[in-house]
Structure 1
Amino acid sequence: MIVVSSATSDTGSAVADALLATGEQVRVLGRSRDRLQRYVEHGAEAAEARTDDPGSLRAAFAGAHAAFVMIAPGIIPGSTDFPAYQRRVINAFRQALGGLGDLARIVSLSGWAANHDGARGPVWGLRPLEEALDTLTGPEVTHLRPGWFMENALPMIDEVRATGTAHGLIPADLPLPAIATADIGAVAADLLTGRRKAGARTLELQGPRDVTLTEITAAIGRALGRPEARYEQIDAATMRERLLAAGFSPHMADGTTAMTLDVAERRIAMRRPRTAQTATPTTFEEFLTRVLDRQ
C-alpha cells in the first residue's frame, strides 16, 4: 500500500494519478472524503485526515510500505502565524510516521527554497520538514526539491487574456527552472514504488530548460491570440498591496512578498546543474497547451 497525503493538492493529485495509472494499490488522504471520490472510482482507498492531526494521520498511514508527504496547504491567505501551522504539520508527520514497521520509503515534497538557509514566508517550513523526516529510523527518505512551478503562471494567463499585460515581482529576464507538477508526480511515483533510486537524500528537479517571464508571457500571448502581450515588473510594495487587496493578512502578504524577493534576488536558486537525472520532460509550451485545452 502506498499512501498519498494531500491528494487533492496539485502535486498530491499528480502523484496519486501516476501511481493509479500503473496499477498500484493506493490510499489517498484529504480533509474531505467527497473530494477524494474520483480516486475511489479508479480503485484507490480514501481516508479523511488533517495534515496537522497526528492521530488521524497515524491511522491513515497504517499498513503503508511507502508514503508521500507534503505541507499542505502551502499558503493560508488569512493566517496570522503560518510558521506555527507549519510546525504543527511537521510534528504531526513525525509522530504519525515514526515506528511504522512496514514503512520502507518516504518521499517528501520540499522545494528549491530549501537550498536557501534563510528562506522566508510560506516556504520557511520546507527545510524543517526535511530535517524532521530525517530523524526517522527505518524508511529510506527522499526529499524532492523542484524549482519554479509552471502552475505559478496560471494567473498570468488570466491577466494576458484580460489586459495583454502580466505583472510580477520577479525580473523579466531571470531564468527560472520551471517544472510541471505532473512531472513531479511521475518522479515521486517512481521513487515510491522503487522503480527509481534517487541516489541522494535530496533530489533537485527542473524542467528541460530554464525560461524567463518574458518568454512565458510571449508564449501565453501567442496561444491566446494576443501577440502584443508583455510582462511588466512591479516592486515589492505594489505586490504587497495587491496581496492585501486579494484578502491576504498582513502576515501572509509580508511573507509571500519576502519569498518572491528571495527568488527575484537569486537567494533561492538551484545548487546543482541540470542532468538527465534531474531534468523532467514537459516544456512550458506543452504545459500551456494542456491548461488551455482544459479551459
Structure 2
Amino acid sequence: MIVVTTPTGSIGHQALEHLIRADAPLRVIARDPSRLPAAVHEHAEVVKGASHDPAVLAEALAGADSLLWVMPPDPAAASVHAHAIAFTGPLCDAITAHRVPRVVGVSSLGRAVARHAGQISAVFAMDHLIESTGVHYRSLGMPGFMDNMLWQLEPIRSQGVFFGSLPADRKSPACATRDIAAVAAGLLLDPTWTGQETVAVPGPEDLSPDDMARVMSEELGRPIGYRRLPAQALQASMVERGMTQAWAQGLTDMTAAVEAGLYDAEPYPDRATTSPTTFRTWCREVLRPALGA
C-alpha cells in the first residue's frame, strides 16, 4: 500500500498519475476529498483530514509499505522552524507506531551547506526528524520549481514581465515538478531500496532570470522581461498580502542563501537523466497553455 499526502498539490497529483497507471494499491490523505479527480476516487482509498493529524495518520499508515511526504507551506506560521517541527512530529510517531518501511520526502538541494536559509533550513529539520525514526528514507533534493512561474501569470500576460529578487545574471538550477513527481513515483514503486540518502533532482540546466526571460520571449512569441525587486520591498509586499513577518523573512533568507550559492555546493551528475524537462520544454508545454487558458 502506497500512501500519498497533498494529492491535489503540484507534486502529489502528478505522482498519483504515475502510480495509478502502474495500478499500484493507493491511499491518499485529503482535507477535501471533493477536490480529487474521479480517477483517484476510482483507484485509491481516501482518508479525509489533515496530514499532520495523529488520528488521520494512524488510519492512513496502517499497513502502509511506503509514503510520499510533502510538508505544505503555512504563510500564517509564527515561526518557520516551529512549523516544520510541529507538522512533522506526528508523522514520526506514526511511522514508528505502524512500522512504515519507506518514506520519500520532498526536500531541497544544499543540505550540506545550508545555514540561515529560511524555509530550506526548515525542510532540512524535517529530514532530520524523519531520519531519526530509522525509517528507510529518500530525501528528494531539488532547487526552485519552474512551476513557480505560474504564480506570475497575470504580470506576464498583462505587462510582459516577471519579478524576483535574484540578480538578473545569477544562474541557478530549476526543475519541473513533473520530473520530481516521476522520481518520487519510481521510488514509491520500488520495494528494494534501503538506508537514508538524498536523491538530487536538479533540473537539466542552470539559468539566470535573464536566460528565462529570453526563452519565454521565444516560446511565447512576444517580449518578456525580468524585473528585480529589492528583497525588503518584496518582503514588505508579502506581509501586506497577509504573510506573517516570520514567513516573509524566511523567504527573504532563502533567496539570499540561493544567491550566495546554496545550490552550487556539489556537482549533479546525469542531470538530464534524472530531471529531463528543460525550461524551454516547460514553457512550451505548461506555461504557454496556462497563459492561453
Mark the CA change 1:127 to 1:49 in structure 2 (over 3 Å): closer, same or farther: same
Aligned to 2:119: 122
Q: Write the distance in 1 (CA, Å) between the matches of 2:225 and 2:102.
A: 45
Mark the CA change 1:153 to 1:37 in structure 2 (over 3 Å): closer, same or farther: closer
Check conservation: 1:115, 1:269, Cα contact below 8 A. Answer: no
Instruction: List aligned pairs for 1:77-156, cutoff 5 A.
Output: 77-101=75-99, 103-137=100-134, 139-156=135-152
Aligned to 2:61: 61
Q: After superposition, what is the alpha-carbon deviation per residue over 1:185-228, rounded to whole angstroms, capped at 9, x for unaligned?
A: 1111111111785986111111111121111122222333322x
Instruction: List aligned pairs for 1:172-183, cutoff 5 A.
Output: 172-183=168-179
Is 1:273 matched with 2:252?
no
Aligned to 1:249: 244
Instruction: List aligned pairs for 1:220-235, cutoff 5 A.
Output: 220-227=216-223, 229-235=224-230
Matched residue count: 289
Amino acid at match of 1:126: V
Q: Write the distance in 2 (CA, Å) between the matches of 1:124 and 1:51.
A: 21
Amino acid at match of 1:84: A
How big is the shift at 1:91? 0.4
How big is the shift at 1:270? 4.1
Check conservation: 2:26, 2:45, Cα contact below 8 A. Answer: yes
Q: Write the distance in 1 (CA, Å) between the matches of 2:71 and 2:187.
A: 19
Mark the CA change 1:93 to 1:199 in structure 2 (over 3 Å): closer, same or farther: closer
Aligned to 1:18: 18
Name the % identity: 27
Check conservation: 1:28, 1:39, Cα contact below 8 A. Answer: no
Q: RMSD over aligned Cα, in angstroms?
A: 2.3
Q: Write the distance in 1 (CA, Å) between the matches of 2:133 and 2:267.
A: 29
For structure 1, the residue ranges without an aligned partner over 5 or more in a row are none
SS at match of 1:177: strand
Task: Give the TM-score, by structure 2 length.
Answer: 0.89
SS at match of 1:125: helix
* Moved segments of 4+, more than 4 Å: 195-200
Q: Write the distance in 2 (CA, Å) between the matches of 1:119 and 1:130.
A: 16
Mark the CA change 1:156 to 1:198 in structure 2 (over 3 Å): closer, same or farther: farther
For structure 2, the residue ranges without an aligned partner over 5 or more in a row are none
SS at match of 1:201: strand
Mark the CA change 1:140 to 1:80 in structure 2 (over 3 Å): closer, same or farther: closer
Task: Give the TM-score, by structure 1 length.
Answer: 0.89
Amino acid at match of 2:46: A
How big is the shift at 1:154? 1.9
Instruction: List aligned pairs for 1:43-58, cutoff 5 A.
Output: 43-58=43-58
Return 177-186 or 157-166, whichever deviates more. Answer: 157-166
Mark the CA change 1:31 to 1:199 in structure 2 (over 3 Å): closer, same or farther: same
